[in-house]
Amino acid sequence: MNKISNFFKWMIKYFYWLSLVVFAAIYIRWFQLTPLVFEYYNDPNGAYIFGLILLSLYSASMFALKLSTKSKLLRGLLYIPTTLFFIWNISHTTAFFPSLEFTTRCNGNKYYIAWMHPFGDYQWTFDEVTIWRKGFFKYDSFFFGYSGGPYRIVCDEQNKTANIVNDSSDVLAYIDGENPQVFDDFATATLNNHHYFLARKCNNWTPSTCESLTFTLYACTLEYKSCHPLPIQYTQLDTRNFLHLEPDNVNNEVRLYEELFETDEKILIFGFGQNSQCYAMGCEILEQK
């Protein structure tokens, strides 16, 4: 009993210092999941930096408490801000610490997909992808959409890519590798033991949107591996319109349709197969490489 009693006394005596160690470990893990990025806007930065400020204030109040040994009154008063900063740190980490959705190691890189709440707008959730590259302190971290998951990563060791798949829609979302690709969020079709998707490229980015989008048809195996571009693409001028890929089992081809935003009319853009053909302006059949 004496050992247990002494242990609890020790815990109470060093409670604040132990909590500081725990908070430090939390922020190290936080940085691993969603590290700071300053080259472009990165939503997790705000919550992480604000958390570090809270942790610094908590640490400062603890050191002030330790130094105030001569005045019991001052020491008693310092317990108030120290306790408040402790509670604030708990509240902040509970609210904004990223939740790990998926992680894997692929081609020598470590991948994390985490979701969290935007700092200052708690009603939403978003996904963040972090890739720790081979080498010392080399990483990429980027926003991956609001409430779009869950996601998983398929490691294609043969082609040295990591393919991120949206499990809720079975759509390929991103390829990380020598030639990274972003894909349309919804367009997908399956034909002849292959999945088909649309790689998306922004043309002439303006402050709020792209002037146009160029979509290239991609094919992957049913395991979301060996993904490669096909020699057909479409440049969309009205980026509000939705694109749909549909299998045509009669003609053994994949067809792309564009649904007009204002009228809901569906326009056939192209059919890709043995006899590929364009049906609308902006479509182009490329030369085979």
Give the domain-ending residue among 96, 119, 134: 96
Residues 120 and 184 in one domain: no
Domain boundary among 161, 178, 195: 178
Mean pLDDT score, 228-255: 95
Residues 148 and 88 in one domain: no
- Write out pLDDT tens, residues 92-139: 999 999 999 999 999 999 999 999 999 988 888 999 999 999 878 999
Q: Are residues 26 and 108 in the same domain?
A: no
Do 280 and 187 lie in a common domain?
Answer: yes
**For the segment 34-65, what is each residue's pLDDT rounded down to a tens digit?**
999 998 878 899 999 999 999 999 999 888 87
Query: Residue 206's domain spans which residues?
Result: 180-289
pLDDT at 10: 55
What is the rounded end-to-end Cα distance, in angstroms, of the chain?
A: 78
Q: What is the pTM of this model?
A: 0.87
Looking at the fold, whether 185 and 167 belong to one and the same domain comes out as no
Q: How far apart are CA 252 and CA 89, in angstroms?
A: 59
Asked if 40 and 54 sit in the same domain, the reply is yes
Q: Are residues 92 and 102 in the same domain?
A: no
Give the end of a domain, one of 153, 178, 203. Answer: 178
Structurally, the chain folds into a number of domains equal to 3
Q: Tell me, yes or no, whether 166 and 198 share the same domain.
A: no
Q: Domain check: are 6 and 57 in the same one?
A: yes
Residues 6+ apart with CB under 8 A from 72: none
Domain shared by 214 and 287, yes or no: yes
Asked whether residue 17 falls in the same domain as residue 69, the answer is: yes
Residues 191 and 256 in one domain: yes
pLDDT score of 237: 92
